[in-house]
């Protein structure tokens, strides 16, 4: 692991303003010197001493002992301590806002007589977790009377192991003063560009020690690290006209190296210059109708990750979410597998590898996660699965000569949350031949280019979508960007939309969509990411969102 030093930081920063002497446009003429009194403060100094993995494992094994003694046919527990802190610097502020959080929680699942119960808590004592295990036993037995198809998990061998998210620089050891200086520098890289700005910059760091213990003796310890930077450059941004994300930075697993990226300030400046230029384009509403639409990589990733991703979560497909987030249009699974469900231009793989935000070694079922294909040249070849859902695909795997196994997508967003099937990181294969973003719209006589959309409204089966918010939408005329579009969006049937994908860009057009996915009742959120190249879609329904009151 690289020790963070001011020298390292300066060596990786290309602008002279990145030290502790920072000038802010619009605040005042005098340079502002950051206070030195707090130079020793770090995330580590703000947070309590972390609980040792041994303590957490003791809680886990005690709960499993209680469940076994109570006669559970299966039980598992996730127990975790999570520390996080964030610094947010508004473009007009001098000092960042600070938030610090420390929590300890656990969640226990027990199967007894075929009934499944889940109990969670925040009190990290042996008495508390063993009582919770016994409570879950009693509840599961009560539920068993109301179960016609008993719950079963794919068996796993007993495993013991430890894993840590790869990390070069621990953000909890980087002085807050230096982090604030970097926030200033990144804000400044946008605000110094004429007609550009920023909505503020945030670093948010999370470290979590998560222990998984199961009644078969499995005991896994993972040290997980998350980086959630928020960084956006806006042109004419007071009107919300054009907002882009600089490349190479986004939600990830890892350490301080995820934000201290050599040359990033130059990228931010270039992004700010681009948005300032694009913000000056004339603006008008587009005619409604069907047009070719090009999505940049970030938007492609977001649309994929919020439509097709959740639609392939197998618990949802099997009806577990019927009263909550809904079911899926890609159903029933044995009729859908092997079918062409999208354009042949789409190939999607799924994984939980670093540095993706979803990275873990073992999921919250205790299954080792692995990379797997979901869609191959438009053909559906698999679903997103867990130990309890994967058996529904047994016949498919037998036909394919593949072993029946979970893909390691069981997720409890926090240790005290229920375990649900969640989409892992999705990756769309780019074109092998050169195909830039401009190449994708070069032959379009009239159409739309959508960039940096981060939200799609869907429905209870993910069968339709509506995208009305984006960093910017542009009118393409005779292969060129000619105007900004104001007051339009696209609306689509998911299946038709993915079949209308005509071409994807090359690897240089790849961007990352970042989005929240909710599920369960009460609903819980997870953050997910998907990387994709730019894409060209034909005949997309463009709607008007401009109304006059």
Partner 1 sequence: MSAKMPLRSIPSLPNRMAAGRPVLAQRQVTELTERVMGMTSADTVYVIVSHTARVVTRMANGQVLSGDDGDELEIFIGTKFGNRNGVKVTTNQLDDSSLRAMVQHGERLAREGIGPVDSSVAEERQEPDQLIPVQLWHEETIRAMSTTRGTVIPELLGAIAHEQLRAAGFLGIMARSEALITKEGIAVYSEETDCEITVTARTADGKSSGWGGQAARNWTAVKYADVAAHAARMAKLGVDPVALEPGRRVAILGAPAVAQITRFMAQQFNAASTDRGMTALSKLPYGNKLRMRVLDPRIDMSSDPADADGGYRPYFSSGNGTKAMTWVENGVLKNLAYDPLYAMVKGKPYAEDPYSLRIAGGPTSVDQMVAQCKEGVYVNRLSAVEMVDQRTALMTGVMRDGCFLVKNGQIERGLKNFRFLDSPFFFMNSIEAIGPTARAPFGYTPRAAGESWFTDWPRRPMIVPPMMVRDFNFNALADAV
| Contact mark string toward partner 1, 499..518, x via CB under 8 A | -----------------x-x
- The full DSSP string for 258-315 is GT--TTHHHHHHHHHHHHHHHHTS-EEPPPPEEEEEEE-HHHHHHHHHHTHHHHTBHH
Contact present, 411 and 419 (Cβ < 8 Å): yes
CA 425 to chain centre: 7
Closest to 336 (Cα-Cα) out of 374, 366, 391: 374
Ranges of H-type helices in 40-105? 43-46, 53-69
Question: What single DSSP character describes residue 57?
Answer: H
Question: In this structure, what are the phi and psi dihedrals at residue 490, rounded to the nearest 5 degrees?
Answer: -120, 150
- In the chain, count of helices (H) and strands (E)? 13, 29
Phi-psi region of 546 (alpha: psi -120 to 50; beta: other; left: phi over 0): beta
Residues numbered 168 to 207 that lie near partner 1 (CB under 8 A) are: 176-177, 180
Residues numbered 47 to 86 that lie near partner 1 (CB under 8 A) are: 47-52, 54-55, 58
CB of 47 to partner 1, least distance (A): 7
CB of 150 to partner 1, least distance (A): 10
**Helix or strand holding residue 503 (H, E):** strand 501-504
Residue the block writes with tokens 């890892």: 254
CB of 356 to partner 1, least distance (A): 23
The stretch near partner 1 (CB under 8 A) out of 333-341, 354-362, 425-433, 462-470 is 462-470
Q: Which is nearer to partner 1, 177 or 313 (CB)?
A: 177
Per CB under 8 A, 461 contacts partner 1: yes
CB of 266 to partner 1, least distance (A): 25
CB of 344 to partner 1, least distance (A): 22
| Contact mark string toward partner 1, 287..306, x via CB under 8 A | --------------------
Q: Max alpha carbon distance in the chain (Å)? A: 74
Question: In this structure, what are the phi and psi dihedrals at residue 263, rounded to the nearest 5 degrees?
Answer: 80, 5
Per CB under 8 A, 21 contacts partner 1: no
CB of 438 to partner 1, least distance (A): 30
Per CB under 8 A, 211 contacts partner 1: no
Residues numbered 311 to 340 that lie near partner 1 (CB under 8 A) are: 318-327, 329, 331
Candidates 13, 73, 105, 227: give the one binding partner 1 (CB under 8 A): 105
Residues numbered 365 to 394 that lie near partner 1 (CB under 8 A) are: none
User: In the chain, what are the helix, strand and coil shares in percent, each to the nearest 5?
Assistant: 25, 35, 45
Residues numbered 396 to 435 that lie near partner 1 (CB under 8 A) are: 416, 418
Residues numbered 245 to 284 that lie near partner 1 (CB under 8 A) are: none
The stretch near partner 1 (CB under 8 A) out of 112-120, 352-360, 427-435, 442-450 is 112-120
The stretch near partner 1 (CB under 8 A) out of 27-35, 204-212, 340-348, 393-401 is 27-35
Q: Quick check: helix, strand or coil at residue 390? A: helix
Residues numbered 136 to 175 that lie near partner 1 (CB under 8 A) are: 136, 139, 142-143, 145-149
Residues numbered 439 to 458 that lie near partner 1 (CB under 8 A) are: 455, 457-458
């Amino acid at each position: 692991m690289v020790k963070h030093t001011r020298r390292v930081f300066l060596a990786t920063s290309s602008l002279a303003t990145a030290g502790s002497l920072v000038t802010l446009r619009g605040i005042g003429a005098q340079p502002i010197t950051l206070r030195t009194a707090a130079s020793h403060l770090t995330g580590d100094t703000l947070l309590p001493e972390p609980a040792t993995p041994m303590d957490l494992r003791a809680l886990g094994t005690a709960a499993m002992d209680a469940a076994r003694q109570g006669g559970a046919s299966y039980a598992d527990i996730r127990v975790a301590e999570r520390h996080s802190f964030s610094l947010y610097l508004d473009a007009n502020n001098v000092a960042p806002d600070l938030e610090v959080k420390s929590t300890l929680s656990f969640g226990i699942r027990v199967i007894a007589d075929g009934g499944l119960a889940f109990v969670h808590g925040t009190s990290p004592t042996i008495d508390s977790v063993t009582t919770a295990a016994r409570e879950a036993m009693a509840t599961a037995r009560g539920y068993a009377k109301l179960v016609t198809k008993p719950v079963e998990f794919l068996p796993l061998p007993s495993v013991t192991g430890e894993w840590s998210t790869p990390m070069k620089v621990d953000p909890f050891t980087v002085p807050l003063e230096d982090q604030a200086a970097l926030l200033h520098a990144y804000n400044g890289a946008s605000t110094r560009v004429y007609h550009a700005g920023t909505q503020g910059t945030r670093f948010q760091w999370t470290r979590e020690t998560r222990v998984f213990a199961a009644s078969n003796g499995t005991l896994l310890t993972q040290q997980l690290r998350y980086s959630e930077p928020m960084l956006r450059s806006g042109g004419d941004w007071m009107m919300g006209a054009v907002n882009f994300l600089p490349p190479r930075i986004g939600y990830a697993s890892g350490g301080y190296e995820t934000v201290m990226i050599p040359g990033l300030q130059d990228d931010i400046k270039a992004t700010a210059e681009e948005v300032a230029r694009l913000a000056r384009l004339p603006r008008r509403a587009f005619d409604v109708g069907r047009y070719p639409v090009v999505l940049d990589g970030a938007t492609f990733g977001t649309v994929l990750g919020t439509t097709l991703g959740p639609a392939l979560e197998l618990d949802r497909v099997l009806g577990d979410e019927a009263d909550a987030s809904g079911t899926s249009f890609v159903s029933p699974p044995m009729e859908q597998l092997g079918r062409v469900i999208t354009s042949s231009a789409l190939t999607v793989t799924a994984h939980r590898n670093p540095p993706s935000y979803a990275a873990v070694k073992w999921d919250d079922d205790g299954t080792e996660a692995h990379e797997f294909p979901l869609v191959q040249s438009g053909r559906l070849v698999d679903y997103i699965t867990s130990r309890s859902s994967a058996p529904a695909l047994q016949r498919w795997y037998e036909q394919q000569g593949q072993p029946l196994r979970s893909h390691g997508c069981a997720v409890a967003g926090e240790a005290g949350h229920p375990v649900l099937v969640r989409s892992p990181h999705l990756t769309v294969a780019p074109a092998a031949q050169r195909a830039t973003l401009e190449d994708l719209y070069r032959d379009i006589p009239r159409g739309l280019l959508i960039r940096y959309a981060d939200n799609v409204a869907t429905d209870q089966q993910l069968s339709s979508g509506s995208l009305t918010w984006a960093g910017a939408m542009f009118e393409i005329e005779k292969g060129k960007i000619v105007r900004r579009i104001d007051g339009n969006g696209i609306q689509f049937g998911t299946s038709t939309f993915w079949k209308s994908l005509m071409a994807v860009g090359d690897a240089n057009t790849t961007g990352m969509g970042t989005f929240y996915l909710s599920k369960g009742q009460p609903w819980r959120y997870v953050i997910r990411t998907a990387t994709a190249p730019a894409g060209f879609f034909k005949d997309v329904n463009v709607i008007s969102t401009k109304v006059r009151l």
